[in-house]
Amino acid sequence: MSALIILCSTPAAKADRLARLLVEEHLAACVQALPGVRSTYRREGVIEQADEVLLLVKTTADRYAALERSLKAHHPYELPEILAIDVAAGLPAYLRWVAEETTRGEHGDAD
């Protein structure tokens, strides 16, 4: 099972709620919230800036589609940043833990 790191920026007021939701649903083993991100982007022809929190979401490729659906459904932005990065290597025990934590929710298994 291959591990992924998902990058997702969000307003600070929503970061904890999104992180908790992903872990509760077993879509992520861990979510780290990095505050102090300043994003600059073009939206509808206008350059804008926003103070955000960057979520680093640890999951597996098998859970990506469900994680994406959940983020799209609960994220406050119409077009949220959801980028998946393949994990090339990592501590085997940590990668097993990520797989175990995200597998629990795949079939409605209880905690």
Write out pLDDT tens, residues 5-42.
999 999 999 999 999 999 999 999 999 999 999 999 99
| Number of neighbours of residue 47 by Cβ within 10 angstroms | 8
Work out whether strand 3-10 and strand 46-60 pair parallel, antiparallel, or are unpaired: antiparallel
Classify burial at 18, counting beta carbons within 10 Å of its beta carbon; exposed 0-12, middle 13-18, buried 19 or more.
buried
How far apart CA 76 and CA 87 sit, in angstroms, is: 27
CATH code matching the domain that covers 3-103, chosen among 3.30.360.10, 3.30.390.30, 3.30.70.120, 3.40.50.2300: 3.30.70.120
Identify the residue whose tokens are 């992520």.
28
Q: With a threshold of 0.85, does the pTM exceed it?
A: yes
pLDDT tens digits, 58-85: 999 999 999 999 999 999 999 999 999 9
**Residue 102: which of 41, 54, 57 has the closest Cα?**
57
